[in-house]
Amino acid sequence: MRILRQILRALAWCIILPAAAVLTLVLSGPRLLVAFLHGIELLLDLAWLFVAIFFHLLRSSLFALGLGGREKALLIKAQAHHFAGEVKADAEKLLGLPMELARNFRRALDLVRRHLHRQGRRALDWAGEKASATMLRRPAFDFESDYEIVERLPSGGSTAQVFVVVPRRGSFPPGLPPGSTSRGERAVLKYFDLTIGSHLESIIRESGAVRLANQLGIVLDSKMSPTSFYYVMPYHHGATLTQEILAMHRRLPDGSRPSDPELNRFLGWLRDLLVVIVEYHERGVFHKDIKPDNLIVEGEKLHLIDIGLLTPLESMLQLTTHGTEYFRDPEMVRLATRGATIRDVDCAKFDIYSVGAVLYFILDGGFPASGSLTRYSRPVPFALQWISNRAMTDFDKRYSSAREMLRDVEALRELSAGAAFDSIKVSSLPSFHGGEPPPVPAGPAAPAGAAAPPSLPRGLAGREAASRFLKPAAGAVLLVACAAGALILSSNGEHLSGPVAAEAAPEEVLLGSTASVSTQAGSHLRAADDGASTRRFSSRHEAARWVSEVIENLRETFARKEGRGRTPLVLPLPGPEEDPQEMEFIRELKLALAQRSVPFETRAQATRPNAPDEPWVVRVKVTRRSGLRAVEGAVQTPSGPRCWSVEYP
Amino acid sequence: MVTPNTNLVRRLKERNSDAWLELWEVFGPAIERMVASIAKRYFSPETVQDLRQETLLQVFARIEDFDTRRGANFSTWLYAIARHIVCAEIARRNALKRNRGLKPLSLGDVLDLDGGAASPAAEFEKQVFRAKVYHAIRLVERRSDFLEFEVYKMKVSRPIKAVEIAAILGISEAGVSRHLRKVRERLRETLRQVVREYSWTQDEVEEIEKHRLDGDDELFDSALGDIYAAVEEEQKRHHHPVRTVQGRA
């Protein structure tokens, strides 16, 4: 009975196994052939067993039939005994069979599982690709009539989708900055859509940033619809600075530093970055999110991307903590938590901190967790450490402007062309001597030699002594200048001495020295622009901003003194006969005045030489002087005309 | 017996935002490192940051209960809160694991209390002292001229002589010595002030002597350099991947 049960069980397995083998073979193909062969092998084993049992029984029966009497009985007994032993062995074999079958079946199932898993993953990938391709082909993007999607880029931390596109009509829409992109060139399109997860806050913030970026000429196109917003910028193909630097530091052995040519290459990148930052700041905006992930290395060039946090320096909004840890100035977080407004703080210095942090990352490969206190894990040349630390140090001691930092970088590049980095003395850097070196005509490629301050005697003790002597002397000169300024204010605009005042008409007084900037409040606020005769600026925009600030202060002074409301300024109306340079300057001035909410009107007669001297009429004359544009202007105050003189390239 | 300095605690109790920023600046990194050292194998850096914030939130909620007259260190009180929060988090996670049929962690495993290594409490006390020294360095950096401080930083960052510093910077040796002297004096004074400000027991005040920070100039520079290096090393070990912060604080 037991044997019969085993036989039935074996038979059942004989049905199950081939069925499972065939099924798995059909499902998973040749890779399961091994499992199938296992099954066949077992079937053969089983068949052999049946045949063996059958012949054994038959042989024993036939033998027993041929004998008789007692011998027959003994033989049958012996045969039976022998047969029982054989059957027992066969039964054991039979019992082992299901175990073998189960093992093989488990192997087969395992192979099936692995195969299905692999196939499933392939199917998922395929579905993902199809879905992504379907999404790319989705006609819902409202920019697709103008742009063709080439590639999708990772969107980073924002709620936008980023694409590489080419314009459908072969070029970008009219009205774009000339030369910003060539025909058929790729561009990056950042797309926000409220219906597919973008936040309204992001759209509002980025659209504001795009308005600013438009002034800088870095946005190719932008469009706002009731539910979506997109903008297009030039596409830079390359690795991020993070990828480049981490790969470079992985190659470097512990305790060694990048070679001098590599350091020179880094300085070139830093210069590229600073040129852009200087341009931003002089145009009145700051980037707020400078970090290695937002810098693209394209050959020897470094490009700053992501304008999402561009903010006007004169914004009256409250400072926020947006930015990226380790590359964001901790002082910004502190001021933001105290509720400071942007215009009350020199926010350009936050960008300078970030550039310093980026330099640290380039040189060390790590993050400057403690700002300028962070130690280097590699033996970095001290001149480079100086620049990085100076950019990240306390707010008041930091580089006063990105241009000052650029001067140091340019000087170091020049010095490193003729000497090893380790032999360059830190005192060779322009910022080492504290005060601003003489201003230079703008342009990032200005020679570093021109930017350096007059060098003190080479003798070390002599320099120390000179510095000790010069500091009090400079302080005394400053004190006298301040006293003179105060006298002028109190005398309601009497004559001033000074180089330009001497050259100017007798009834005119120098305006620059009379202006006192009222926004200074505390150490974090911007220093007053005051006390110069002919001021030199890096751009027309910067010069116009300064003039507008000075005029506004003058008007405030008179408004306080006379207790009357402010009458609007009168600016020259552009006409065909006017000098285009004058018109350009006046246009910048109008923009700057508008940003300061100073009321003004335009009149054609304001520029005529015989115009009546009515109050607050502005006159401007632009000339060319040794390669620079010189603007001499005057504003008619109730107590007489006040003049200024500025220069720019 | 030192008179307990209740200034910071008083300002904290008054909900003075500057005092909270100060607490965050001075003790925040030490708490973070302590939390990380207790359960670094089990918590991600993000969770460690969350626990640090949770600790300071609990400090904010319970500051009224801290009584300076009992003679307990403020740092010990902070440690007790932080440890409680870490243990509560471990218990919460263990409960989750039990419900899923997983083996929970034993507290002994988690607290890393194996013999030989300093206990978390002792290590935390060390870190708190280092945090005070680091805070003093920061204050002196703010009060010093950039060049002066850079000179001193060069001196304590690596074994380098004044004459070498002078050669690197391109200034006179006398100038370097003057800068070093000025910053060192300022540091000694500020360190005494900071330790007084954040100490509640005599033991805490005496830590200056224990760490050889009252010795001659060479000893002082060397001890300060060691602490500066230790803090920087700790910070490098615990720094987290860069992430964009998109919200207002």
**Does residue A268 register a pLDDT over 90?**
yes
**Does residue A134 register a pLDDT over 80?**
no
Among the partner-chain residues B166, B243, B249, the one whose CB lies closest to the CB of A336 is: B249
Residues of B in contact with A156 (CB under 8 A): 244
> Chain B residues within 8 A (CB-CB) of chain A?
17, 21, 137-138, 141-142, 145-147, 150, 153-154, 157, 166-175, 228-229, 232, 235-236, 239-240, 242-249
Q: What is the pLDDT of residues A279-289, one digit of tens each?
A: 899 888 999 88
Residues 6+ apart with CB under 8 A from A441: A536, A538, A627, A628, A649
User: Across the interface, do A460 and B239 touch by the CB < 8 Å criterion?
Assistant: no
Q: What is the pLDDT of residues A219-238, one digit of tens each?
A: 888 888 888 888 888 888 88
Rg (CA), chain B: 21
DSSP codes joined into one string, A525-574: SPPP----SEEE-SSHHHHHHHHHHHHHHHHHHHHHHH--PPPPEEEEPP
* Rounded CA separation A18/A36 (Å): 8
* Rounded CA separation A552/A340 (Å): 23
First to last CA, chain B: 41
Return the DSSP state at A343. G
**Does residue A328 register a pLDDT over 50?**
yes
Return the pLDDT at B51. 81
Q: Read off the tokens for A554.
A: 């003058």
- Mean pLDDT for the stretch of residues A560-566: 61
* Rounded CA separation A301/A276 (Å): 12
Among A451-465, B51-65, B123-137, where is mean pLDDT lowest?
A: A451-465
User: Across the interface, do A397 and B145 touch by the CB < 8 Å criterion?
Assistant: yes
- Smallest Cα–Cα separation from B189: which of B232, B155, B139, B148? B139
B247 CA: distance to closest CA in chain A (Å):
6
Return the pLDDT at A65. 62
Residues of A in contact with B236 (CB under 8 A): 366, 369, 377
Strands A628-637 and A618-625: antiparallel
Tell whether the torsion through CA atoms of A571, A575, A579 and A584 is positive or negative.
Answer: positive
Residues of B in contact with A243 (CB under 8 A): none
Single-letter code of the amino acid located at B180: L
**Does residue B247 register a pLDDT over 50?**
no
Q: How many residues does chain B have?
A: 249
Return the pLDDT at A385. 93
- Mean pLDDT for the stretch of residues B31-53: 74
- Mean pLDDT for the stretch of residues A577-582: 69
Is the distance from CB of A563 to CB of A611 less than 8 angstroms?
no
Most confidently predicted of A66-75, A104-113, A331-340, A598-607 = A331-340
- Smallest Cα–Cα separation from A202: which of A215, A192, A212? A192
- Smallest Cα–Cα separation from A524: which of A354, A310, A349, A373? A349
Q: Which helix (H) or strand (E) holds A190?
A: strand A187-193
Among the partner-chain residues A293, A321, A374, the one whose CB lies closest to the CB of B245 is: A321
Single-letter code of the amino acid located at A168: R
Return the pLDDT at A52. 76
Q: Read off the tokens for A634.
A: 């005057």
Q: Quick one: pLDDT band at residue A68, thresholds 50, 70, 90?
A: low
Q: For residue B135, is it within any domain?
A: yes
Which of B53 and A127 is assigned the larger pLDDT? B53
Return the pLDDT at B238. 65
Query: Torsion-angle region of residue A288: left (phi > 0), alpha (psi -120 to 50) or beta?
Result: left
- Give how far Cα A209 sits from Cα of A196, A277, A541, Å: 22, 15, 19
Q: Quick one: pLDDT band at residue A354, thresholds 50, 70, 90?
A: very high
- Mean pLDDT for the stretch of residues A34-45: 73
Count structural domains, chain B.
Answer: 1
Which of B197 and A529 is assigned the larger pLDDT? B197
* Rounded CA separation A120/A128 (Å): 12
**Does residue A563 register a pLDDT over 70?**
no
User: Across the interface, do B174 and A367 touch by the CB < 8 Å criterion?
Assistant: no
Specify the residue for token string 């936050």. Answer: A350
User: Across the interface, do B239 and A369 touch by the CB < 8 Å criterion?
Assistant: yes
Return the pLDDT at A292. 93
Return the pLDDT at B102. 60
- Smallest Cα–Cα separation from B28: which of B135, B140, B136, B117? B135
Return the pLDDT at B68. 66
User: Across the interface, do B242 and A324 touch by the CB < 8 Å criterion?
Assistant: yes
* Rounded CA separation B148/B186 (Å): 11
Q: Quick one: pLDDT band at residue A445, thresholds 50, 70, 90?
A: very low
Return the pLDDT at A577. 57
Residues of B in contact with A390 (CB under 8 A): 146
Report the 10 Å Cβ neighbour count for A387.
Answer: 26
Which residue range is the domain that position B223 belongs to? Answer: 7-238
User: Across the interface, do B169 and A328 touch by the CB < 8 Å criterion?
Assistant: no
User: Across the interface, do B245 and A325 touch by the CB < 8 Å criterion?
Assistant: yes
* Rounded CA separation A317/A560 (Å): 27
**Does residue A497 register a pLDDT over 50?**
no
- Mean pLDDT for the stretch of residues A560-573: 67
Most confidently predicted of A7-21, A49-63, B2-16 = A7-21
Most confidently predicted of A7-11, A34-38, A354-358, B222-226 = A354-358
Mutation pick from B21, B168, B179, B187 vs chain A, by most beta carbons of A within 10 Å, is B168
Among A7-21, A240-254, A452-466, B137-151, where is mean pLDDT lowest?
A: A452-466
Average pLDDT value over all residues in chain A: 73
Give the bridge partners for B248, in sequence order.
none
User: Across the interface, do A425 and B157 touch by the CB < 8 Å criterion?
Assistant: no
- Mean pLDDT for the stretch of residues B129-139: 89
User: Across the interface, do A366 and B239 touch by the CB < 8 Å criterion?
Assistant: yes
Q: For residue B35, is it within any domain?
A: yes
Q: For residue B172, is it within any domain?
A: yes
Q: For residue B1, is it within any domain?
A: no
Return the pLDDT at A131. 63
A435 CA: distance to closest CA in chain B (Å):
13
Q: Quick one: pLDDT band at residue B248, thresholds 50, 70, 90?
A: very low
Return the pLDDT at B40. 66
Where do the CATH 1.10.510.10 domains begin and end in chain A?
241-452
User: Across the interface, do B236 and A377 touch by the CB < 8 Å criterion?
Assistant: yes
Q: Quick one: pLDDT band at residue A500, thresholds 50, 70, 90?
A: very low
Where do the CATH 3.30.200.20 domains begin and end in chain A?
147-234
Report the 10 Å Cβ neighbour count for A610.
Answer: 5
Return the pLDDT at A221. 84
Describe chain B by its helix, strand, coil percentages, rounded to 5. 75, 0, 25
Q: Quick one: pLDDT band at residue A29, thresholds 50, 70, 90?
A: low
Among chain A residues, CA nearest to B234: A369
User: Across the interface, do B242 and A328 touch by the CB < 8 Å criterion?
Assistant: no
Residues of A in contact with B147 (CB under 8 A): 432
* Rounded CA separation A337/B174 (Å): 43
- Give how far Cα A532 sits from Cα of A481, A644, B233, B248, Å: 10, 10, 48, 40
In CATH, the number for domain A147-234 is 3.30.200.20
Residues of B in contact with A366 (CB under 8 A): 236, 239
Q: Quick one: pLDDT band at residue A446, thresholds 50, 70, 90?
A: very low
Give the bridge partners for A239, in sequence order.
A297
Helix (H, G, I), strand (E, B) or coil at A579: coil
Return the pLDDT at B47. 80
- Mean pLDDT for the stretch of residues B190-209: 82
- Output the CA angle A30-A36-A39, nearest 5 degrees: 175
Mutation pick from A246, A311, A325 vs chain B, by most beta carbons of B within 10 Å, is A325
First to last CA, chain A: 112
Describe chain A by its helix, strand, coil percentages, rounded to 5. 55, 15, 35
Residues of B in contact with A374 (CB under 8 A): 232, 235
User: Across the interface, do A321 and B247 touch by the CB < 8 Å criterion?
Assistant: yes
Among chain A residues, CA nearest to B17: A338
Q: Read off the tokens for A439.
A: 């201003």
- Smallest Cα–Cα separation from A314: which of A644, A550, A560, A594? A594
- Give how far Cα A505 sits from Cα of A495, A496, A632, A641, Å: 11, 12, 12, 10
* Residue A435 C-beta-side C-alpha neighbours within 13 Å: 11
Q: Quick one: pLDDT band at residue A467, thresholds 50, 70, 90?
A: very low
Q: For residue B205, is it within any domain?
A: yes
Return the pLDDT at A118. 78
Q: What is the pLDDT of residues A581-611, one digit of tens each?
A: 777 788 778 777 776 667 777 766 444 444 4
Tell whether the torsion through CA atoms of A579, A580, A584 and A590 is positive or negative.
Answer: positive
Is the distance from CB of A98 to CB of A10 less than 8 angstroms?
yes
Domain A241-452, classified CATH 1.10.510.10, yes or no: yes
- Mean pLDDT for the stretch of residues A506-521: 32
Q: Read off the tokens for A279.
A: 């341009």
**Does residue A258 register a pLDDT over 50?**
yes
**Does residue A524 register a pLDDT over 60?**
no
Is the distance from CB of A291 to CB of A358 less than 8 angstroms?
yes
Is the distance from CB of A605 to CB of A617 less than 8 angstroms?
no
Is the distance from CB of A453 to CB of A430 less than 8 angstroms?
yes
Single-letter code of the amino acid located at A385: Q
Helix (H, G, I), strand (E, B) or coil at B214: coil
Return the DSSP state at B70. G
Helix (H, G, I), strand (E, B) or coil at B238: helix
* Residue B244 C-beta-side C-alpha neighbours within 13 Å: 17
- Mean pLDDT for the stretch of residues A191-198: 82
Return the pLDDT at B174. 92
**Does residue A491 register a pLDDT over 80?**
no
* Rounded CA separation A10/A101 (Å): 9
Q: Read off the tokens for A518.
A: 């009222």
Among the partner-chain residues B145, B150, B244, the one whose CB lies closest to the CB of A324 is: B244
Helix (H, G, I), strand (E, B) or coil at A453: coil
User: Across the interface, do A373 and B138 touch by the CB < 8 Å criterion?
Assistant: yes
Average pLDDT value over all residues in chain B: 77
**Does residue A150 register a pLDDT over 90?**
no
Largest Cα span, chain B: 72
**Does residue A477 register a pLDDT over 70?**
no
Q: For residue B246, is it within any domain?
A: no
DSSP codes joined into one string, B139-189: HHHHHS-HHHHHHHHHHHHS---HHHHHHHHTS-HHHHHHHHHHHHHHHHH
Is the distance from CB of A622 to CB of A585 less than 8 angstroms?
yes
Among the partner-chain residues B169, B236, B242, the one whose CB lies closest to the CB of A427 is: B169
User: Across the interface, do A427 and B171 touch by the CB < 8 Å criterion?
Assistant: yes
**Between chain A and chain B, how many beta carbons pairs sit less than 8 Å apart?**
101
A155 CA: distance to closest CA in chain B (Å):
13
Most confidently predicted of A245-254, A318-327, B114-123 = A245-254
Single-letter code of the amino acid located at A357: A
**Does residue A486 register a pLDDT over 60?**
no
- Smallest Cα–Cα separation from A485: which of A530, A527, A521? A530
- Smallest Cα–Cα separation from A249: which of A271, A266, A236, A268? A266
* Rounded CA separation A508/A516 (Å): 18
- Output the CA angle A336-A340-A342, nearest 5 degrees: 95
* Rounded CA separation A233/A221 (Å): 7
Question: ipTM of this predicted complex?
Answer: 0.77
Return the pLDDT at A238. 86
Query: Torsion-angle region of residue A522: left (phi > 0), alpha (psi -120 to 50) or beta?
Result: left
Which of A108 and A423 is assigned the larger pLDDT? A423
Q: Quick one: pLDDT band at residue A562, thresholds 50, 70, 90?
A: low
Q: Quick one: pLDDT band at residue A482, thresholds 50, 70, 90?
A: very low
User: Across the interface, do B172 and A382 touch by the CB < 8 Å criterion?
Assistant: no
- Smallest Cα–Cα separation from B224: which of B147, B151, B152, B139? B152
A450 CA: distance to closest CA in chain B (Å):
21
Return the pLDDT at B31. 77
